[in-house]
Amino acid sequence: MATDINNNFDLESDAISEVHGIKFGLVVSAWNKSITDNLYDGAYKTLLKYGAKNVNIKKIEVPGSFELIYGCKKMQNSDVDVIIAIGCIIKGETDHYNYICQSVSNGITQLNIINNIPIVFCVLTDHNVQQSINRSGGKHGNKGIESAVAAIKIACIK
C-alpha cells in the first residue's frame, strides 16, 4: 500500500554541482525485464538530468534478482562511486518469493557493510505484476528515479 507521505526527492544545488564527477554503476536484473527496464530508464535519465556524464554510468545485466548480489560485488571492484541494484521480485504461489526477497536484501546489506562503495536498493518486492507496473512508471511513480536521487545523495556524503 502506498502512503500519502510526500518524500522529497529533489537535490540541493551543492549535490547537483558534484554529480558530473560521480561514477555510477547500475546492476540490472533481466528477470521481469519490462519492469526492470523501466526502473533503469528512470534511474539513467535522472542521473543525466542532474548532470552525470554518460561515460560515468556503467551498466551490467544479471539474470535475476538473486544474482544482483554477485553483480554488485563485481561492480564494487570496478571504478564506481555508488551502485544502484535494480530488480523486481513478484510473489508467486510458492515460498520462493520469500527466500529471494530476504536473500537479496540481506546480501546487499552485507555488501554495504563490508565494502566502501554504497549500494542503493532499487528492488521491487510486489505481490503482483500490477503493483510492479505502478512502481516502475505507473501511478506510484518510478522507483528508479528515486533511487538515482538517493545514489547522488549518498555519493555526496563526505
29, 101 Cβ separation under 8 angstroms = no
Residues belonging to the active site: 96
Three-state SS for 11? coil
152, 47 Cβ separation under 8 angstroms = yes
What separation in angstroms does the CA of 84 have from each of 4, 11, 28? 25, 17, 8
26, 119 Cβ separation under 8 angstroms = no
Residue 85's closest CA among 28, 155, 14?
28
By DSSP bridging, strand 136-138 and strand 141-142 are antiparallel
